[in-house]
Chain A
């Protein structure tokens, strides 16, 4: 930072570019700190909601002793894409949420959402076959939703399935806690990407400063 200030004072040829890089670095740093506070707040909310669920449902129903130890595929994964062509942008992280273990499809996430829309529209006939899971329902509206499951319904089913370790009928407070921790997970991935951007902006700044010092 001191080197960049010196180079600005000296009025070097790359002074304007350096200012842009400095601003870019400071902006990304500000965004990082703001997101960090947001993550802290979301996690606090999630932990309190979990305690509230334990208070409501009882300690025997919401307990770490009920977590499933069977080998199973993760419902949410994080993909890492390294920078291409040696560019200094750093690795890029992608969150793939609610991956179906049966079909290996991702139902939510940064890259999955557009793909998901295409899949849901093209595979409705295939999805209709899942209607046998839900038992006969006299209401026409429920029957219609079973025969035409939306993306939201599939995601909701995945969410319910992950909460089923605590029982099939859980309190809305536990669902709220799940939502908070899901948001926190997205924020963490966003933080990782932002950190990558901060570090790459800082390294570009250092390179520019070194170039200016070298030429002068």
Chain B
């Protein structure tokens, strides 16, 4: 039960909530996207972005620009804002903000391990890591031969340590084991984040439950679709689904046996929130499913700002910025490849 946050929230969280709401007003609008979609070259995109909050980050980049440069600089802006908020935050907000980055940490761990398996240079891999997911001993991951060593040598001192209990084996790391490790870690992280938000309680618990449940359900659908036609068994697939969300547990039981996209549709259409998502795509087609999920996610994230005195605004802001960076990446790729007619395939307007 909540209702008294108004009396105490601003003591520790008022400044940062004001900061994040200010950052939110700097998100690109539909007018900005319309201008960007009409650009002919990446330099035109840079020129249009110079009038936005990304201007200072791109102004010194020399021509010719690359799409990876635009994404890198926009991500740097997000990282700077996040670090400013983190250093100003007190408990439990600081822990909440750290939770937001654990997903990137998992991605970085898997990137280093996979790249090492493929005999890539560690420095090259570190440059590709997401800056929000960096930690001190990340480079040491390259020496581990199996998950037990990964845990013992490196990850035991990181926030991901508690998530490893479900996937520690002495099996050598190969592509399928790494994929199972990635999804098992992410499942444990989502469940832990969910419990943490429930412990905070109030509006944070209510709004974050909805957002994390949606994330868990979307991951279940993506795991199902991506594992169709692979060697992943049904038991392994079931183990990768989270233990919460609208689809838990009956939807998961039905998703486990799906062998094609139409069967997945049949399962998801039984749930009204997801019926609207699958209504946007035609039968047998899954290309537009990502965009449909992103649109639904953006709608829910924007609604988080309608209430005050909770931490979900920080999570929502980070996710909206990441969506914005994905939009900019897609627009840049379409412009660079001279495929402007396809630019609206994947751009999700936020406002």
Contact = CB atoms under 8 A, between A and B. Distances in A.
B226 A170 contact: yes
A164 B175 contact: yes
A69 B119 contact: yes
Contacts of A168: 175-176, 178-180, 230-232
A172 B287 contact: yes
B45 to A, nearest CB: 15
B339 A69 contact: no
Contacts of B286: 172
A173 B287 CA distance: 7
B327 to A, nearest CB: 9
Contacts of B91: none
Contacts of A47: 337
Nearest to B287: A173
A76 interface: no
Interface in A151-170: 156, 160, 164-165, 167-170
Interface in A58-85: 58-61, 63, 65-70
Contact of A66 (B108, B118, B232): B118
B225 interface: yes
B115 interface: yes
B128 A65 contact: yes
Given A52-B346, A134-B231, A60 B108 contact: yes
Given A56-B290, A63-B128, A135-B233, A167 B118 contact: no
A68 B178 contact: no
A56 to B, nearest CB: 5
Q: How large is the interface on A (under 10, 10 to 19, 20 to 34, 35 or more residues)?
A: 35 or more
B296 interface: no
Q: Is the interface of A mostly helix, strand, loop or mixed?
A: loop
B119 A60 contact: no
Contacts of B120: 65-67, 69
Interface in B98-139: 107-108, 110-111, 114-115, 118-120, 124-125, 127-130
A48 B342 contact: yes
Contacts of B337: 44, 47-48, 51
A169 B227 contact: yes
B107 A58 contact: yes
Interface in B283-305: 286-287, 290
A133 interface: yes
Given A135-B233, A169-B232, A172-B225, A55 B125 contact: no
Contacts, number: 111
A55 B182 contact: no
A66 B287 contact: no
A133 B119 contact: no
A171 B120 CA distance: 23
Interface string B220-237: 001101110111111100
B183 interface: yes
A133 B231 CA distance: 8
The 8 closest A-B pairs by CB, nearest first: A168-B179, A169-B226, A51-B333, A68-B118, A164-B175, A69-B119, A168-B176, A65-B128
Interface of A: 44, 47-48, 51-52, 54-56, 58-61, 63, 65-70, 133-138, 156, 160, 164-165, 167-173, 176
10 contacts: A60-B130, A66-B120, A67-B118, A68-B119, A135-B233, A160-B229, A167-B175, A167-B178, A169-B227, A171-B225
Interface of B: 68, 71, 107-108, 110-111, 114-115, 118-120, 124-125, 127-130, 175-176, 178-180, 182-183, 222-223, 225-227, 229-235, 286-287, 290, 326, 329-330, 333-334, 337, 339, 342, 345-346
Given A55-B333, A164-B175, 18 more contacts: A44-B337, A48-B333, A51-B330, A54-B333, A55-B326, A60-B130, A65-B111, A65-B115, A65-B125, A66-B115, A66-B118, A66-B120, A68-B118, A135-B233, A137-B233, A160-B231, A168-B176, A168-B232
